[in-house]
Amino acid sequence: MEAIYLDHAATSPMARGVAEAMIPVYEEIIGNASSVHSFGRKARQQLDASRQALAASIGANEKELIFTSGGTEADNMALTGVAEANRNKGNHIITSIQEHHAALHTAEKLEKQGFRVTYLPVDEKGLVSTQDVEAALTDDTILVSIMYVNNETGVIQPISEIGELLKEHQAYFHTDAVQAYGLLDIDVHAQNIDLLTATAHKIGGPKGIGFLYANEKVAMSPIQFGGEQERKRRPGTENIPAAVGFELASNIVMETKAARNQQYEKYKQILIDTFTESGIDFGINGDPEKTVSTIINVRFPGANVEALLANFDLSGVAASSGSACTAGSVEPSHVLSAMFGSESPVTTNSIRFSFGLANTEENVKEAAERIAGIVKRLTS
């Protein structure tokens, strides 16, 4: 039985050519980019070329791009770094309750350190409202961090609107764009985004590298200490092969954005049509009009995630639910709890399917049939 991967929002396979492009970097670029010799210079040259390409992909300049180990580190750096460096300007941070834990837990840590944090709610469609951001803003606010696309529901947040709102305010605007990067058009300067998180492994690049874009005007303290790499903002010897892989994966997704979005929308429709035809009871979580093409979050009334996910896996379909796993058990999703209330059955009967390079119309159709069969068995 063919195993079918519908969990690209967790991590994606490497795009064709990416691994191949990294191998010569591992083998030939042996220097440390900070070294003052020819080996070092060659490494630095390669690193900066990747940095330039990645910065250009979001309309930033290369000085504004900090390589990190991935999205988590970039979120941690954005929140902690900005909070610490701007305490003289204020003590208030605004974020939302549906953020990725990389941001959410950092906000909670800052709260313990004495910052005041406002966690904005989301509506039943999975959206943060710009009016809520506006209402929460005070003269004391130094940072607003709202994710671009929610990782569980795929719902696209009103980032440009919030950017516009914050234009005249001292607060910096950070967005975790891990699930948006490579699918949506992003121009950080036009959208007035001050900080932005992206990671390579969600777009067909290698695991272990991401970036934080931080506008030149942003005051930010480092969160790690060591050498003076990344303009003293992120120490540690640079991972040049990964940067090259990230650059190539980024080039590919930027060039194929429109075609891929179209393809993934088709996959989504196959899933919906197959479920509908099978007669199973299901519903879609999050505003379908404002969701990225790659993610669909489906509730199956009468079923339960633990049984669904294990059954899917045993019949070769890989999907996921919630974002937190404690001792392997799936805790009710904090995102769906935010949308529907923590007592709602939706928090324990919903599954996220996410499309990407490992999918074809055929295997999505096949997976949808297996899923429908399992749901039918479990709910009848």
Partner 1 sequence: MKENKNTRVVVGMSGGVDSSVAALLLKEQGYDVVGIFMKNWDDTDEFGVCTATEDFDDVVRVCNQLDIPYYSVNFEKQYWDKVFTYFLDEYKAGRTPNPDVMCNKEIKFKAFLDHALSLGADYLATGHYAQVARDENGSIQMLRGADDNKDQTYFLNQLSSDVLEKVMFPLGHLPKPEVRKIAADYGLVTAAKKDSTGICFIGERNFKTFLSEYLPAQPGKMMTLDGIEKGNHDGLMYYTIGQRQGLGIGGSGDPWFVVGKNLEDNYLYVAQGYHNDYLYSDSLVATDINWVQPDQIEETFTCTAKFRYRQKDSEVTVTVKDDKAYVAFKESQRAITPGQAVVFYQGDICLGGGTIDEIIKDNKALQYVG
What's the min distance (Å) between Cβ of 325 and partner 1? 8
Q: Does 136 bind partner 1 (CB under 8 A)?
A: no
Of the candidate spans 55-63, 75-83, 326-334, 357-365, the one that interacts with partner 1 by CB under 8 A turns out to be 326-334
Establish whether 333 is a catalytic residue: no
224 closest CA partner among 19, 41, 368, 81: 81
What's the min distance (Å) between Cβ of 380 and partner 1? 12
- The token duo for 161 is 């609107």
Of the candidate spans 28-36, 130-138, 158-166, 308-316, the one that interacts with partner 1 by CB under 8 A turns out to be 308-316
238 closest CA partner among 229, 226, 246, 247: 229
Of the candidate spans 115-123, 142-150, 173-181, 301-309, the one that interacts with partner 1 by CB under 8 A turns out to be 301-309
What's the min distance (Å) between Cβ of 4 and partner 1? 16
77 closest CA partner among 186, 231, 246: 231
Window 349 to 378, contacts with partner 1 (CB under 8 A): 378
- The token duo for 291 is 């969701």
Contacts with partner 1, 27-66, as mask; x by CB under 8 A: ----------------------------------------
H/E stretch holding 101 reads helix 101-112
Q: Does 190 bind partner 1 (CB under 8 A)?
A: no
From 3, 23, 135, 310, residue interacting with partner 1 (rule: CB under 8 A): 310
Tell me whether residue 258 or residue 327 sits nearer to partner 1 (CB atom): 327
- The token duo for 319 is 């999907």
Catalytic residue chosen out of the listed positions 30, 135, 314, 325: 325
- The token duo for 191 is 């959208």
Q: Does 326 bind partner 1 (CB under 8 A)?
A: yes
What's the min distance (Å) between Cβ of 310 and partner 1? 4
- Residue 123: phi and psi, rounded to 5, are -85, 180
90 closest CA partner among 49, 123, 137, 46: 137
Distance of alpha carbon 159 from the chain centroid: 14
Q: Does 3 bind partner 1 (CB under 8 A)?
A: no
Tell me whether residue 249 or residue 372 sits nearer to partner 1 (CB atom): 372
26 closest CA partner among 237, 240, 238: 240
Q: Does 1 bind partner 1 (CB under 8 A)?
A: no
CA dihedral 275, 277, 279, 280 (to 10 degrees): -10
The helix/strand/coil state of 318 is strand
User: CA end-to-end span of the chain, whole Å?
Assistant: 25
Contacts with partner 1, 169-188, as mask; x by CB under 8 A: --------------------
Q: Does 380 bind partner 1 (CB under 8 A)?
A: no
d(CA 332, CA 322): 6
From 93, 292, 309, 372, residue interacting with partner 1 (rule: CB under 8 A): 309
Q: Does 277 bind partner 1 (CB under 8 A)?
A: no
Of the candidate spans 74-82, 111-119, 259-267, 304-312, the one that interacts with partner 1 by CB under 8 A turns out to be 304-312
Beta strands in the chain (DSSP E): 4-5, 65-68, 92-96, 116-120, 141-145, 172-176, 195-199, 210-214, 283-285, 295-299, 317-318, 325-326, 329-330, 350-354
Residue type, 195: L
The CA-atom distances, in angstroms, between 47 and each of 17, 34, 58, 226, 348 are 19, 11, 18, 19, 44
What's the min distance (Å) between Cβ of 311 and partner 1? 6
From 48, 139, 228, 313, residue interacting with partner 1 (rule: CB under 8 A): 313
From 330, 338, 364, 371, residue interacting with partner 1 (rule: CB under 8 A): 330
- The token duo for 45 is 């040259």
H/E stretch holding 313 reads helix 305-314
From 314, 324, 342, 361, residue interacting with partner 1 (rule: CB under 8 A): 314
Q: Does 165 bind partner 1 (CB under 8 A)?
A: no
Chain residues binding partner 1 by CB under 8 A are 306-307, 309-311, 313-314, 326-331, 378
Active site residues: 325
